[in-house]
Amino acid sequence: MKLQPDRFDVPSVTGYGPGWVAIQGEKTHHSVVIASNGTQFDWGCEHFQDLGPSHFAQLAELDVEFVIFGSGKLLRFASPAWMQGLMQKRIGVETMDTQAACRTYNILAGEGRKVAAALLIEGQNSD
């Protein structure tokens, strides 16, 4: 039985692999933020160690209820201090590896939720 629609009315992740994701069929090899309201922008970090408060401040400016942080190939948590802007705006955050974040974003966006995914895309040799 097929439960998922063949096409979403919101931007979706259409594929992923080591060092890349495809959004609406367009492959990208850099970290990216995608939101169900159509917002999409480069996230400006190549490695988990490059992340800082400014990256999460960008997420707090999005018109969403929930942010999924895809932390790369491994499950790694950002500093709680960096989440202050999100918490002040009552925006929920969940951390998972980037591939799981892609799948979760698609499910929530497909349900009509106001959600964004901040996807850390690292090269194959990055930890």
Number of Cβ within a 10 Å radius of residue 25: 8
Instruction: Note the pLDDT of residue 24.
Output: 92
Residue 57 has pLDDT above 70, yes or no: yes
pTM: 0.89
Bin 126: left if φ > 0, else alpha if -120 < ψ < 50, else beta.
Answer: beta
Cβ-based neighbour number of residue 47 at 10 Å: 13
Q: Is the dihedral of CA 42, 100, 47, 25 positive or negative?
A: negative
Q: What is the pLDDT of residues 12-42, one digit of tens each?
A: 999 999 999 999 999 999 999 999 999 999 9
